[in-house]
Amino acid sequence: MTPPADSHTPILPHPTELDRQDPLARYRDEFVIDDPDLIYLDGNSLGRLPKRTVARMREVVEHEWGARLIRGWNEGWFTAPQRIGGKIAQLIGAAADEVLVGDSTSVDLFKLIMAALHARPGRTKVVTDDLNFPSDLYVMQGAVKLAGPNYQLQITHSADGITANDDALSKAIDADTALVALTHTAFKSGFVYDMGAVTEMAHRAGALMLWDLCHSVGALPLALDDHRADLAVGCTYKYLNGGPGSPAFLFVRRDLQEWLVNPVWGWFGQKGQFDFALNYQPARGMTRMLTGTPSILSLAAIEPAIDLMLEARVERLRAKSVEQTEYLIALWEQWLKPLGVTLNSPRDASCRGSHVSLGHPEGLRIDRALIEDMRVIPDFRYPDNIRLGIAPLYTRFADIYEGMSRLRRVITERLYEKYSIERPEVT
């Protein structure tokens, strides 16, 4: 497994040597690795299962639910959204009382968008761009429709489909703008926005700024409070390894909390919930953003995974992730670029997250051949992106080397040709 070199190409370091020098290598043992030959490059869609989570799930099911029953609510369940939110806060540069866990990213986004529109009366525009995740666009479309006929969503366009169009954004954000909402690391290209600069752009126009952190949290250090970001949401099933459908988190900067109105009033957001008063009165601080009973089993699965991430430290994870995406891109340059594969992610690591998208007109069929014949799991994003996610807690340099070498084989030997162009239900 030595990377090849000819007289024109630089010699790349040996992957096993890189793994040997990796200060985070031991964290791979923290995860369930069911099939050592499977190259899993999809931790940016669904992270692997931490071994600690298996033990925690057994405890919460057998002991807390099985034995403690309803008493569990006073033994840690009731405060789980705040407690786990406080841990996520450490990953995103926020204070413990600015983050809550519960609901899905889409639902949290809806709550915060409606709250933002309500908090900026007279302003009727939401600004976003076409690098944003479609669910976010759907939520925004629904929110402006509900807000009333004067409201509109303005979607600016990226010039290359990879990076943000700062000029278009700055033109769109004006005195009519209530909210600017963007996904911090773009889901297809992995482009990372300059959080400070864009937040300032929104604030200069008097608008609120909301960041979707789904592809950023756990992959790179974030500084929401330092950048004076107003609102944020993010999921926990990607780099945070919280499990399929694990609850999302929402962030509201402390000074905004008392005057933002949750659009979905429910008893978990009520002041003095167990007084059972007949009229709604919002609880203090972030708790008012809750609605109904939290998913305790799913919340329990997130906590050990987040503890693991805090222990590994996100700055170290970012350093490894940059080294690994650089390594992947160097392999692309030597092996795949000559075969017509394009780099659909930024070349500059400072504005690239922890996944890399490679483009090929046969991307969908190549993706299928990788999964079904080659034991490599990436994912596919329309129209041609083979998206390779690096989760530095457990991805090895050897996985990247081997995954790229199998990808090269699929293309050179045209192994994808036996697959139909029909898209499976989930890609």
Nearer to ligand PLP, 187 or 239 (CB): 187
Closest CA to 268 of 246, 245, 295, 298: 295
CA 291 and chain centroid, separation: 23
Nearer to ligand PLP, 49 or 248 (CB): 248
Q: Can you tell me the distance from the alpha carbon of 385 to that of 147, in angstroms, rounded to the nearest whole number?
A: 35
| 426 CB-near residues (< 8 Å, 6+ apart) | none
Nearer to ligand PLP, 135 or 342 (CB): 135
φ/ψ of 302, rounded to 5, equals -75, -35
212 a catalytic residue: yes
34 a catalytic residue: no
129 and 158 in contact (C-beta within 8 Å)? yes
- Where along the sequence are the contacts to ligand PLP (CB under 6 A)? 104-106, 133, 135-136, 183, 187, 212, 214-215, 235, 248
Nearer to ligand PLP, 135 or 273 (CB): 135
Per the listing, tokens 């409606």 go with 114
End-to-end CA distance of the chain: 30
Amino acid at 399: D
Which residues, in sequence order, are bridge partners of residue 158? none
Nearer to ligand PLP, 250 or 415 (CB): 250
110, 191, 237, 249: the catalytic one is 237
CB of 306 to ligand PLP, least distance (A): 16
- Return the number of other C-beta atoms located less than 10 Å from residue 141's C-beta: 14
Contacts 24+ apart (CB under 8 A), 192-196: 192/216, 192/220, 192/346, 192/350, 192/351, 192/352, 192/353, 193/164, 193/351, 194/351, 195/222, 195/223, 195/224, 195/227, 195/229, 196/223, 196/226, 196/227
Nearer to ligand PLP, 217 or 336 (CB): 217
Nearer to ligand PLP, 198 or 331 (CB): 198
DSSP state letters, 150-214: T-EEEEE--SSSSS--HHHHHHH--TTEEEEEEESB-TTT-BB--HHHHHHHHHHTT-EEEEE-T
CB of 188 to ligand PLP, least distance (A): 10
27 a catalytic residue: no
CB of 213 to ligand PLP, least distance (A): 8
28 and 309 in contact (C-beta within 8 Å)? no
CB of 139 to ligand PLP, least distance (A): 8
Nearer to ligand PLP, 248 or 252 (CB): 248
108, 212, 230, 379: the catalytic one is 212
What is the total residue count of the chain?
427
CB of 19 to ligand PLP, least distance (A): 29
CB of 44 to ligand PLP, least distance (A): 9
347 a catalytic residue: no
Query: Please, what is the angle between helix 134-147 and helix 105-119, to 10°?
Result: 40
Going through 238-347 in order, the beta strands assigned E by DSSP cover 249-252, 342-343
Nearer to ligand PLP, 3 or 43 (CB): 43
27, 31, 110, 133: the catalytic one is 133
Cis upstream peptide for 383 (omega within 30°):
yes
SS3 394: coil
133 a catalytic residue: yes
234 and 212 in contact (C-beta within 8 Å)? yes
CB of 43 to ligand PLP, least distance (A): 13
37, burial (CB in 10 Å: exposed 0-12, middle 13-18, buried 19+):
exposed
129 and 102 in contact (C-beta within 8 Å)? no
CB of 289 to ligand PLP, least distance (A): 16
178 and 117 in contact (C-beta within 8 Å)? yes
238, 253, 365, 381: the catalytic one is 238
CB of 241 to ligand PLP, least distance (A): 14
What is the largest distance, in Å, between two alpha-carbon atoms of the chain?
A: 79
Active site residues: 133, 212, 237-238, 387
